[in-house]
C-alpha cells in the first residue's frame, strides 16, 4: 500500500504541470495565510501626502488613489479573493457531487428531473445572471458565494452522474451489491473513492474560474465593498485613473493571473495523470 502511494506520489511530482502548479498554489495559499502579518502598512490607512506613488523601495507596489500601500492591500486582498473562490468552489462541488450521485445512482424519475434542471440551468448566460442577482440584491459576500455556486454546479453534477453510471456496471460494484451492502455504504465506500481523480481535477479548474468571475464582479463594483478589497476591486480602482497610475491595475492583475495559472496547471496536470493511468 505504502509503495503504491509512493509511486503515485512520484508520478504526481514528475508531471511538470502538477509540480509547478503545486508550488504556485502552495505559495499563494501561504501568502494568503501569513502574508497579511507581514504587510508593511495598514491596508486601509490613507495617507494623502503619498497618493499615487509609483513603485519604490518604500512602497514596493506603489500607492493608490488615497495613498494606501498597494502591497499591503494585495496581501490582505488575497484572503478575500481566495476565500470567496475557495468557498464558492467547495459549495459548487458539494451540490454537484450530491445531485450527480443521486441522479446517477438512483436513476429513474429523479435522474430525469435533475438532468432536466441541469439542461435548463446550463442554458442560462452565467455571468449575466450572476451579475444580475448580485447587482440587484446589493449582496453580501455570502450571497455572492451562494449565487456563484448556484449557477456553477451543473457541469460537476453531469460529470459525477456519468462516472457513477459507468462505475455501476463494474464487477467490483456488483460484487459489493451482492454482499448486500446498503446504498449509503456503496456510495461512500465504493463509488466516491473512484471519483476522486476526476473531482480533484475539476476542483482546481473551478477555483480558477471562480477567481476570474469574482474579480469580474468586483471590477464592475459589485463585489467586495470598501475599505476591504479583493484583487478585482483593486483592479477596478486602477481603471479610475488610466492616465498614469498603471501600477494600481498591474499588480492586482498579476496576482490574479499567477493564482489562476497555478490552479489551472494543477488541474491540467491531474487530468494528464488520470488519462495516462487510464490507457
3-class SS string, 201-267: HHHHHHHHHHHHHHHHHHHCCCCCCCCCCCHHHHHHHHHHCCCCCHHHHHHHHHHHHHHHHHHHHHH
Only one of the segments 26-34, 37-45, 152-160, 236-244 lies at the binding site for other proteins (rule: CB under 8 A); that segment is: 236-244
In sequence order, what are the beta bridge partners of 63?
Answer: 69
What's the rounded Cα separation, in Å, for the pair 204 and 211?
A: 11
What's the rounded Cα separation, in Å, for the pair 256 and 89?
A: 16
Q: How far is the CB of 208 from other proteins (least distance, A)?
A: 7
Binding-residue total with other proteins (CB under 8 A): 37
Question: What x-and-dash track marks residues 73-112 binding other proteins by CB under 8 A?
Answer: ----------------------------------------
User: What is the gyration radius of the CA atoms in the chain, in angstroms?
Assistant: 22
Decide whether 128 or 184 has the Cβ nearer to other proteins.
Answer: 128
Q: Which three cell numbers stand for residue 154?
A: 451543473
Q: Is 226 in the site for other proteins (CB under 8 A)?
A: no
Chain position carrying cell 488541474: 267
Q: How far is the CB of 260 from other proteins (least distance, A)?
A: 4
Closest by Cα among 198, 221, 45, 217 to 128: 217
Decide whether 7 or 120 has the Cβ nearer to other proteins.
Answer: 120
Dihedral (Cα; 52, 71, 56, 58), 10-degree rounding: 100
What's the rounded Cα separation, in Å, for the pair 79 and 72?
A: 12
Q: Which three cell numbers stand for residue 148?
A: 456563484
What's the rounded Cα separation, in Å, for the pair 214 and 209?
A: 9
Q: Is 220 in the site for other proteins (CB under 8 A)?
A: yes
Q: Binding residue for other proteins (CB under 8 A) from 114, 219, 229, 273? A: 219
Cβ-contact 271, 277 below 8 angstroms:
no
| Cα–Cα distance list, 36 to 4, 43, 79, 133 (Å) | 39, 9, 9, 31
Q: Binding residue for other proteins (CB under 8 A) from 6, 135, 193, 227? A: 135
∠ CA 259-158-19 to the nearest 5 degrees?
A: 30
Q: Is 242 in the site for other proteins (CB under 8 A)?
A: yes
Question: What x-and-dash track marks residues 156-195 binding other proteins by CB under 8 A?
Answer: ----------------------------------------
Decide whether 85 or 164 has the Cβ nearer to other proteins.
Answer: 85
Only one of the segments 33-41, 48-56, 83-91, 240-248 lies at the binding site for other proteins (rule: CB under 8 A); that segment is: 240-248
Q: How far is the CB of 116 from other proteins (least distance, A)?
A: 9
Only one of the segments 92-100, 102-110, 181-189, 233-241 lies at the binding site for other proteins (rule: CB under 8 A); that segment is: 233-241
* Omega before residue 227 within 30° of 0, cis: yes
Q: Binding residue for other proteins (CB under 8 A) from 188, 257, 276, 277? A: 257
Question: What x-and-dash track marks residues 115-134 binding other proteins by CB under 8 A?
Answer: ----xx--xxx-xxx-xxx-
Footprint of other proteins (CB under 8 A): 119-120, 123-125, 127-129, 131-133, 135-138, 208, 212, 215-216, 219-221, 235, 238-239, 242-243, 246, 249-250, 253, 256-257, 260-261, 264-265
Amino acid at each position: 500500500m505504502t509503495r503504491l502511494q509512493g509511486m503515485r506520489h512520484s508520478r504526481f511530482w514528475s508531471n511538470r504541470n502538477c509540480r509547478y502548479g503545486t508550488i504556485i498554489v502552495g505559495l499563494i495559499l501561504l501568502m494568503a495565510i501569513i502574508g497579511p502579518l507581514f504587510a508593511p502598512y495598514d491596508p486601509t490607512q490613507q495617507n494623502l501626502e503619498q497618493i499615487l506613488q509609483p513603485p519604490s523601495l518604500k512602497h514596493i507596489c506603489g500607492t493608490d488613489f488615497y495613498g494606501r500601500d498597494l502591497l499591503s492591500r494585495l496581501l490582505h486582498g488575497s484572503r478575500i479573493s481566495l476565500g470567496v473562490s475557495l468557498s464558492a468552489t467547495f459549495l459548487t462541488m458539494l451540490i454537484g457531487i450530491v445531485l450527480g450521485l443521486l441522479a446517477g445512482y438512483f436513476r429513474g424519475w429523479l435522474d430525469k428531473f435533475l438532468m432536466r434542471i441541469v439542461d435548463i440551468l446550463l442554458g442560462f448566460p452565467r455571468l449575466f445572471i450572476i451579475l444580475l442577482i448580485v447587482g440587484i440584491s446589493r449582496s453580501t459576500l455570502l450571497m455572492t458565494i451562494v449565487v456563484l455556486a448556484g449557477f456553477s454546479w451543473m457541469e460537476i453534477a453531469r460529470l459525477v452522474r456519468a462516472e457513477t453510471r459507468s462505475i455501476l456496471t463494474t464487477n467490483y460494484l456488483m460484487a459489493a451489491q451482492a454482499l448486500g451492502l446498503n446504498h449509503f455504504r456503496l456510495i461512500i465506500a465504493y463509488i466516491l473513492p473512484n471519483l476522486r481523480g476526476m473531482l480533484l481535477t475539476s476542483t482546481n479548474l473551478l477555483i480558477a474560474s471562480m477567481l476570474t468571475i469574482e474579480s469580474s464582479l468586483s471590477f464592475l463594483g459589485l463585489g467586495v465593498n470598501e475599505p476591504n478589497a479583493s484583487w478585482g476591486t483593486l483592479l477596478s480602482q486602477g481603471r479610475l485613473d488610466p492616465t498614469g497610475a498603471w501600477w494600481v491595475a498591474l499588480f492586482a492583475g498579476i496576482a490574479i493571473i499567477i493564482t489562476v495559472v497555478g490552479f489551472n496547471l494543477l488541474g491540467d496536470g491531474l487530468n494528464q495523470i488520470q488519462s495516462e493511468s487510464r490507457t
